[in-house]
Structure 1
Amino acid sequence: MRLGLRIFLVYFLFVGLTGWFVLRTVMDEIRPGVRQSSEETLVDTANLLAEVLQADVKNGSLDRSRLPDALRAYGSRSPQADIWGVNKTAVNHRIYVTDARGIVLLDSLGQAVGQDYSRWNDVYLTLRGQYGARSSRESADDPESSVMYVAAPIRDGEKIIGVVSVSKPNRTLQPYIDRSQRRLAWLGAGLIALGLLVGGLLSWWLSRSLGRLTRYAQAVSDGRRAELPRYRGGEMAQLADAVERMRVQLEGKAYVERYVHTLTHELKSPLAAIRGAAELLEGEMPAEQRARFVGNIAGESERLQQLIERLLNLAQVEQRQGLEERVPVALRELVAALADERLARVQGVKLENAIAPQAIVAGERFLLRQALGNLLDNALDFTPPGGMIRFDATQVGEHWRLDLYNQGEAIPDFALPRLTERFYSLPRPASGRKSTGLGLNFVAEVAALHGGELRVENVEGGVRASLTLPQA
């Protein structure tokens, strides 16, 4: 299982379970919270009525007061109140008053006058100076029919002379409870979904960032060229920098060891030739033979110089993971400048520049100039006097394919797949000597650095080298 998916699953379980637990807890607290708030209102109402009724209860004139008519009128009122989306069409308080013995003196419903309520908790506890409240079902089989009663004492000084009780059916509170729970459920579900979305995005970002770094590390371990992922600060940027430093240190050590080995191997032949010629020059010999050995020393010295210079250029390209610049480069103008330099030293070869002016690629001008110069030098070495070299360019998708054709003998089949190998070279037709074997390898590295490729193939009448480069 991928790391990002594991992180998301852990985050999903944590956020989901935590959100469900908190939401469940809060929703369970809504019902008692609403009822507690309603009970607090009933307490205030009961105590207010206790003060209003005190004089009539003390004088025994409660039945002759206008309160019974007022309570009947109160019970028939229709408020038509819109309370937070719940339409209230009737009043729901029931009010009854008992004397000091618990006998009902007044009932807003007119049902319990004269009955003994002294055993009901609201009256029983209040007559004993305690907080009186109870919750009773109107129907024993229906838990939703419970009614909340709250009582307050009617006092004459310190003496309790009666009790006033105010009740409210719990079912009248249920619409507000249901509404709050629905809103909370939607809000909680939205927050959980938002949290999961944020977690998913975070997991995706982390997985994507680690994936880029992993692919970079795999490319480096496979010996492929790859560009270091860029991050905007934080631990990922530090990790990327640490991986890059480790790559540079490890590759640098291996690179130096490999190049010291190959360089010493390649230097053996020209050094042996120079040493042999120098030893022979110590003795007496004809002037013509001496000049030939001096020429050998000069030729091998030049070969050593070319080998070292090309190795340095190749090492510079191979160590790079990306271009230092990416600017438009016109192929026709670049080839024309190279042709003027090379043809001044080579006679009898015709060069045709058939590249269209709109053939413009994106890349590093210096490296492209070196790569095309190596291709042209290679073509000049294998083109016989009177032969022709032709440059052409064809647009292929989002790339330009630069074709260099030169007349000459076909490349042997066994040599074609090895032409871009380091230090592999074929004898030159004119001299029979081999080059450093680094030219085409350098061109292939430059092409790969630009996101292109080099192909060399035999065609009718000669050889064609194709260099693919991204268009500007």
Structure 2
Amino acid sequence: MSLSLRIFIIYMLFVALCSYFVLRTVMEEIRPGVRQTTEETLVDTANLLAEFLREPMLNKQINNDFYADIFRAYGQRTPNANIWGVNKFAVNHRIYVTDSKGIVLLDSKNIAVGQDYSRWNDVYLTLQGKYGARSSHEVEGDERTSIMYVAAPIKHGDDIIGVVSVAKPNRSVQPFIDRTQQRLGLLAGGLILLGLLSGAVFSWWLSRELRKLREYAVNVSQGARASIPQGRIASGELRQLAQALESMRTELDGKAYIERYVQTLAHELKSPLAGIRAAAELLQTPLLQAPENQQQRQRFISNIDSESLRLQHLIERLLNLALVEQQQSLHDPQLVDLNALCDELISNHMARIAQQSLQIHKDYAPAAWVTGEMFLLRQAINNLLENALDFTPQGGIIRLQTLRQGDSLQLSICNQGEPIPEFAFARLTERFFSLPRPQTGKKSTGLGLNFVQEVMTLHKGELSIVNLASISPAVPQAGVQVVLSFTAP
């Protein structure tokens, strides 16, 4: 299981549990909160009625039909009120009045007149000078039929001469409770969904950042080119970690690279140095000092010169290869015209082309532009052109072609030389591997194609080498084709 998935699961569980407990607590508090507010309103109403009914109670007028008609008319009113989306079509308060003994004198429902209510808590506690309230059920055991009663004393001085009690069914406030719970549930669901979405986005973002670092570390461990351009890693801490990894990789690669190249260079320098030393020792022998041995002396001097030149080429190629292998990305990318570059390189080799009586055939596509580093592309194409000159026989033909195929631009160099042996294809771009030149039988440094391969990798292109006979079997030994494929800008 990935780290981002584990973080998301933990985050999701945390949000779910917190949301559940908070929502459950809030839902459970809505009902008692509404009922407490209702009870507070009933207290105010009961005390207002107590003051209103004090004079009728003192004057024994409470049994007058006048008050009974008022209470009856109140019970029949239709408010037709829309309260925050809840329609109210009838009043729900029930009001009854008792004397100082708890006998009901007046009832807005006209269902308890003459009954003894002194045993009910609302009346009983109020007659004792306490706060009187009770909750009863119209249907025993059915919470939905509960009715809240709140009483207030009717006083004359310090004497309690009666009790007025106001009742309200809880079902009348249930629509407000249901509406609040529904809206709260929708809001909570939206918040939970938003929280989970935020967690998913955060997990995706963190996973993307960590994936970049992981891919970078894997590429480095596999020896591939890897760089972290500025801006790819968004967070400060991860960017610092990426920079630390980059610095560590650079230090380790630099030490390993130097060690490997010192060993390689020492190994490759042995052969030409041994040839130079042997030729120099022979030149110092008395036998070769005689005038009649002038031809042998000249041959040994030529060996020293050729081996020295070989050393120079080897060192130059190694330096160029080290440059491109250490480079992680293009330093100075610009638009390069491959047609013009090929013409320039051909012009540089015109003396050799004329000496070998070679023919150069060109077939250029218009606007053969690629994005790359001019220096590296010049070196790479020059290496291919030198190989073509080495392997093309006297009077042969070298063909250069630029061809656009969709988003790809290809540079093809073909020579009329011997086909490449099958066993050599797998090693053509291997460092220090080289085939003997047909004219001299000598091998090159074996770094040219390796350099070209590195340059194409840096330019996100491809190098391919085929025998033309494999493309056109009817024309055996037609030569070799090298193709550089670029992504067109």
TM-score range, shorter chain: over 0.9
Which residue identity is paired with 1:236? Answer: L
Shift of 1:95: 0.8
Shift of 1:171: 0.5
Q: Give 1:95's aligned residue.
A: 95
Shift of 1:68: 2.2
Q: Aligned residues: percent identity?
A: 61
Note closer, same or farther for the CA distance 1:163–1:344 as it changes in structure 2 (3 Å cut): farther
Q: Counterparts in 2 of 1:7-406, with a 5 A limit?
A: 7-64=7-64, 66-228=66-228, 230-284=232-286, 285=289, 286-347=293-354, 348-406=357-415
Q: Give 1:445's aligned residue.
A: 454
Q: Residues of 1 paired with 2:186 and 2:334: CA distance?
A: 55
Q: Residues of 2 paired with 1:223 and 1:207: CA distance?
A: 24
Q: Residues of 1 paired with 2:15 and 2:143: CA distance?
A: 35
Q: Residues of 2 paired with 1:287 and 1:396: CA distance?
A: 60
Q: Residues of 2 paired with 1:296 and 1:231: CA distance?
A: 56
Shift of 1:64: 2.9
Shift of 1:65: 7.3
Comparing 194-203 with 287-296, greater Cα deviation is found at 287-296
Which residue identity is paired with 2:78? Answer: S
Matched, 1:471 2:488: yes
Q: Residues of 1 paired with 2:346 and 2:156: CA distance?
A: 124
Q: Give the SS at the match of 2:430.
A: coil
Contact 2:98 2:104 in 1 (8 A): yes
Q: TM-score, normalised by structure 1?
A: 0.96
Equivalent residue for 1:426, pick from 431, 435, 438: 435
Contact 1:56 1:65 in 2 (8 A): no
Q: Residues of 2 paired with 1:26 and 1:384: CA distance?
A: 93
Q: Give the SS at the match of 1:344.
A: helix
Deviations 1:77-98 (A, max 9, x none): 1010011111100000011111
Q: Give 1:456's aligned residue.
A: 465
Aligned length: 472
Comparing 439-448 with 390-399, greater Cα deviation is found at 390-399
Contact 2:227 2:246 in 1 (8 A): no
Contact 1:277 1:297 in 2 (8 A): yes
Structure 2: tracts of 5 or more residues without a match: 470-477
Shift of 1:339: 0.9
Contact 1:153 1:164 in 2 (8 A): yes
Shift of 1:101: 1.3
Shift of 1:345: 4.1
Shift of 1:33: 0.9
Deviations 1:400-430 (A, max 9, x none): 2221101111222222221111011112222
Q: Residues of 2 paired with 1:281 and 1:345: CA distance?
A: 32
Q: Give the SS at the match of 1:63.
A: coil
Which residue identity is paired with 2:297? Answer: R
Q: Residues of 2 paired with 1:66 and 1:277: CA distance?
A: 144
Shift of 1:143: 2.3
Shift of 1:11: 1.2
Over the aligned positions, Cα root-mean-square deviation in angstroms equals: 1.6
Shift of 1:291: 3.1
Matched, 1:410 2:412: no
Q: Residues of 2 paired with 1:279 and 1:158: CA distance?
A: 140
Q: Residues of 1 paired with 2:358 and 2:485: CA distance?
A: 25
Contact 1:392 1:403 in 2 (8 A): yes
Shift of 1:360: 2.1
Q: Residues of 2 paired with 1:464 and 1:186: CA distance?
A: 70
Q: Residues of 2 paired with 1:303 and 1:158: CA distance?
A: 127
Contact 2:153 2:163 in 1 (8 A): yes
Q: Residues of 2 paired with 1:396 and 1:87: CA distance?
A: 74
Contact 1:336 1:353 in 2 (8 A): no
Which residue identity is paired with 1:453? Answer: E
Q: Give the SS at the match of 1:226.
A: coil
Contact 1:331 1:361 in 2 (8 A): yes
Q: Give the SS at the match of 2:349.
A: helix
Q: Give the SS at the match of 2:116.
A: coil
Deviations 1:161-184 (A, max 9, x none): 221111100011111111111111
